[in-house]
Structure 1
Amino acid sequence: MKGYGSFCPVAKAAEILTERWTLLVLRELLLGSRHFNQLRRGIPQMSPTLLSKRLHTLEEAGLVARQSGDNGHWEYHPTQAAEEAWPIIDALGYWGHRWARSQLTPNELHAGRLMWNMRRSFDLKHVPCDFVLYIEIADARPKRWWFVVKKEEADLCWDDPGFKVDICLYASLLTLVQIFVDEMPLPRACELGKIEIDGPRHLVNSMCAWFPRSKYANEAPAAAGQVLAS
């Protein structure tokens, strides 16, 4: 890792935090991922070798503590230094949603990453009852996903969990990403025929209240060319 050759605290922090993928690894850790495979699901385009390297670097820098778990596998826990970096990472999310939005490109769309982020973005306080949500994404591989949603938590399943499906949703990957980041509200996607939903009326009618959206979705994008008033 190259340094800036400066005593400046901003430079010293940047030496640790701005290496490629590092902020995304920290984000996953701070959002609760503790195992290597969980981190891989949150950052699926990062190779296992590079993830191992970044975890080692963060451990050496004092931001990650590696511990042996109950099943004998390593667990990765954020330290106080990492916890204190969360406001920086969170602020970058709001800034990015406001100032760094651009036309989505195919290489930015990844079903696994989207589903993993959706898993922790259900508005559980508005979930009317326990249910199983089935999502089919025709242009993704894999294309079938299940969420077992309860008022306490939502679990993502890569394989059929064997429970009765209560609500089915069919859409393209682009449409689901646009809904998640609030580029296209769910009702608008339905009006345009870009999404098909099948399920009991009380679940379908309440979807706008509980369907997963990015925590940054309410941050309005900045107008092009906007500058501060002098």
Structure 2
Amino acid sequence: MAATYGQFCPLAKAMEILDERWTLLVVRELLLGSSHFNEIRRGVPRMSPALLAKRLRTLERHGVVTHTADGYQLTECGRDLHAAVTSLGVWGLRWVTELGREDLDPQLLMWDIKRTLPVDRWPAEPTCVAVVFTDLEPRRSRWWVVVTHGVPDCCDFDPGVEPCATISVPLPLLTSVWRGDHPWSEAMRSQAVRIDAVAGVRGAIPQWFGQSRMADALAAMDAGDAVSRPG
């Protein structure tokens, strides 16, 4: 029998399902659009396949997730966690700002950038931007982001499309910008960032990449608070 808190409190009952290690991160991946097992794994690369399968079964049993031939999907119950997961992420972004080296992963960062890329801001023709992490060894340092007819891709091998820009940046700095800890404008003024680009492209990079959904959520929340405060 699963452990319980032995409380009628709705929060306690919810946490009986959600507070196992990795569970909310699995829900996060599903909320971000991952539906197949290997897609979910890309967002939680340090989670073993066996444990991921176990957590998915638990979420299925509680009616949070359904599994069909099309993959894993959140039920209405699961989708209702969107506000809670976003609020927790915004709280972490606002109050838990210290990152250790163990928190940094170029593959995870580029995966997150790829799946939330604002492709409507990119040119209509196939467009490539190279990213070089200046603090990593060569085999992990070079990545390519490509948008073709509104479809984004990200890879660690040359895709055969000539980059219109190359961003050279330390991994901690790009991670910080993506999280929303620092704006793109501040990073681009830093001597640690170099952007080699064809004419007219350098200034478009912040719009092409944007920031994470949590950064957008925090900005929207702060903007709402500013509007609601009396002048």
Shared fold by TM > 0.5? yes
Identity rate of aligned residues, in percent?
38
Letter in 1 for 2:23: T
- Verify: 1:83 aligned to 2:84, yes or no: no
Count of residues in correspondence between the two structures:
216
- Contact kept in structure 2, 1:125 and 1:151, CA below 8 Å: no
1:204 Cα deviation (Å)?
1.1
Gaps of at least 5 residues in structure 2 are 223-231
CA contact (8 A) 1:128 1:203 kept: no
**Aligned 8 A contact 1:137 1:143 in 2:** yes
Compare 145-154 and 115-124 and name the one that shifted more: 145-154
Contact 1:44 / 1:112 at 8 angstroms: preserved in 2? Answer: no
The structure with the greater share of residues assigned to helix is 2
| Mapping for residues 99-138 of structure 1, pairs under 5 Å | 100-130=95-125, 131-138=127-134
**Structure 2: which amino acid aligns with 1:95?**
W
CA distance in 1, matches of 2:58, 2:170: 38
Tell me how far 1:15 sits from its aligned partner. Answer: 0.7
Give me the TM-score of the superposition, normalised by structure 1: 0.84
Please give the alpha-carbon distance, in whole angstroms, between the structure 1 residues aligned to 2:100 and 2:179: 14
Q: What is the letter of the counterpart of residue 101 of structure 1?
A: V
Bigger Cα displacement from structure 2, 101-110 vs 152-161? 152-161
Aligned to 2:142: 144
CA distance in 2, matches of 1:86, 1:6: 24
Q: CA deviation at 1:5?
A: 1.5
Instruction: Provide the rounded CA distance (Å) in 1 between the counterparts of 2:105 and 2:29.
Output: 16
2:9 match: 8
Structure 1 counterpart of 2:194, one-letter code: E
Runs of 4+, deviation exceeding 3 Å: 138-141
How many Å apart are 1:174 and its aligned residue? 0.5
1:44 partnered with 2:45: yes
Amino acid at match of 1:15: E
TM-score, length-normalised on structure 2?
0.84
C-alpha contact (below 8 Å) 2:124/2:150 kept by paired residues: no
The correspondence of residues 1-230 of structure 1 with structure 2, limited to 5 A, is 1-69=2-70, 75-98=71-94, 100-130=95-125, 131-140=127-136, 142-150=140-148, 152-217=150-215, 219=218
Secondary structure of 1:104's counterpart equals: coil
- Distance in structure 1 (CA, Å) of the matches to 2:193 and 2:31: 32
